[in-house]
A = this chain, B = another copy of it.
Amino acid sequence: MKVIRSIAAMQRLSATWRRGGAPVGLVPTMGCLHDGHLALIHRARREVGSRGRVVVSLYVNPTQFGPGEDYGRYPRAWARDRRLCQEAGVDALFAPTDREMYPAGRDGFSTYVVEEALGRGMEGQSRPTHFRGVTTVVAKLFHITAPAVAVFGAKDYQQAAVVRRMIRDLNLPVRLVVGATLREPDGLAMSSRNGYLTPGQRRQAVALWNAIRTARREVRARGEMSSATLRRRLKLRIEAHPDARVDYIAFFQPRTLETLRRVRPGAHMALAVFVGSTRLIDNGRL
């Protein structure tokens, strides 16, 4: 496995692979890899085949964090990540520096990719500059690694929708694949941020998954219900946990992300919940 720090070196390598007819599968990560990431890496390998090349990018992207968010303390585990990628059969681990990615100073970085429809609600409302950071860094990673396929995780449902829209609108020659969310035995979606939780908070964090299961059960039992009623009930159940505070609970059409006033089976639900000071998200089809 090659470990690559420089954008130019990564572009040369991906150009060489491309000329040799080897499709690239990219898995963009912020590191601190868990089994969910490894599943995405294996998925990328299946997508590009044994003569394809799998690239994992490892970059804690500052532009997708808002002021006061956890950029500074986002977990880093370089040696372990590197070993896990090696063991997973990754061909190149691309881990650029901030200085390479975002030129600073007088002639500093000034170009962004913005998606203005699907990224407005939910995460975009709670984290106003988040998706602009995501679309910008993903566009950069696409230009640097020239992937035929990019694999994203389903836990960030809205992110995948925003990236899919960006790919369509900007005609990026990349196929988006979304890999299923991996869960802990109690149902908590795997996330690098779960490591922030104290043991007591960790037990309460299952509230997100339980809320999705409750919603699914209720909606399937009734066939249809008001989103306001359902949201109220779920919020009560979640906030029965002493350290849990709901940021949002959203019900929407799965493709357009259009907010639904009446929820029926097949609708999608997403939620963000603070457990202590840790913000967790999850989503599922109802």
- Chain A residues engaging chain B, CB cutoff 8 angstroms: 7, 11, 15, 18-19, 21, 103, 106-118, 135-136, 139-140, 143-144, 146, 165-166, 168-173, 255-256
Does the CB pair A171–B140 fall under 8 Å?
yes
Q: How far is the CB of A72 from chain B (nearest CB, A)?
A: 24
Does the CB pair B110–A118 fall under 8 Å?
yes
Does the CB pair A110–B103 fall under 8 Å?
no
Does the CB pair A113–B110 fall under 8 Å?
no
Does the CB pair A143–B169 fall under 8 Å?
no
Question: Which residues of chain B come closer than 8 Å to A116, judged between CB atoms?
Answer: 110-112
Does the CB pair A173–B15 fall under 8 Å?
yes
Question: Which residues of chain B come closer than 8 Å to A136, judged between CB atoms?
Answer: 170
Q: How far is the CB of A104 from chain B (nearest CB, A)?
A: 12
For the complex with contacts A111-B166, A140-B169, 19 further pairs of A-B residues with Cβ separation under 8 Å are A11-B173, A15-B173, A19-B21, A103-B168, A103-B169, A106-B256, A107-B255, A110-B165, A110-B169, A111-B165, A111-B169, A113-B114, A136-B170, A139-B170, A140-B170, A143-B170, A143-B171, A143-B172, A144-B171
Q: In the complex, which of the residues B108, B111, B165, B171 contacts A11, with contact meaning CB atoms closer than 8 Å?
A: B171
| A162: nearest chain-B partner, CB-CB | B111
Does the CB pair A170–B19 fall under 8 Å?
no
Number of copies: 2
Closest 10 CB pairs of A and B: A111-B169, A110-B117, A143-B171, A111-B115, A111-B166, A110-B116, A140-B171, A144-B171, A143-B172, A109-B169
Q: If the complex has contacts A143-B170, A172-B143, are A113 and B115 also in contact, measured as CB distance less than 8 A?
A: no
Q: How far is the CB of A154 from chain B (nearest CB, A)?
A: 20
Measured in the bound complex, the distance between the Cα atoms of B142 and A146 in whole Å is 13
Measured in the bound complex, the distance between the Cα atoms of B118 and A144 in whole Å is 23
Q: How far is the CB of A36 from chain B (nearest CB, A)?
A: 27
Q: How far is the CB of A23 from chain B (nearest CB, A)?
A: 11
Does the CB pair B110–A111 fall under 8 Å?
no
| A21: nearest chain-B partner, CB-CB | B19
Measured in the bound complex, the distance between the Cα atoms of B117 and A29 in whole Å is 29
5 residue pairs A–B, Cβ–Cβ below 8 Å = A107-B255, A107-B256, A112-B114, A139-B170, A140-B169
Does the CB pair A143–B173 fall under 8 Å?
yes
Question: Which residues of chain B come closer than 8 Å to A117, judged between CB atoms?
Answer: 108, 110
Does the CB pair A113–B171 fall under 8 Å?
no
| A163: nearest chain-B partner, CB-CB | B111
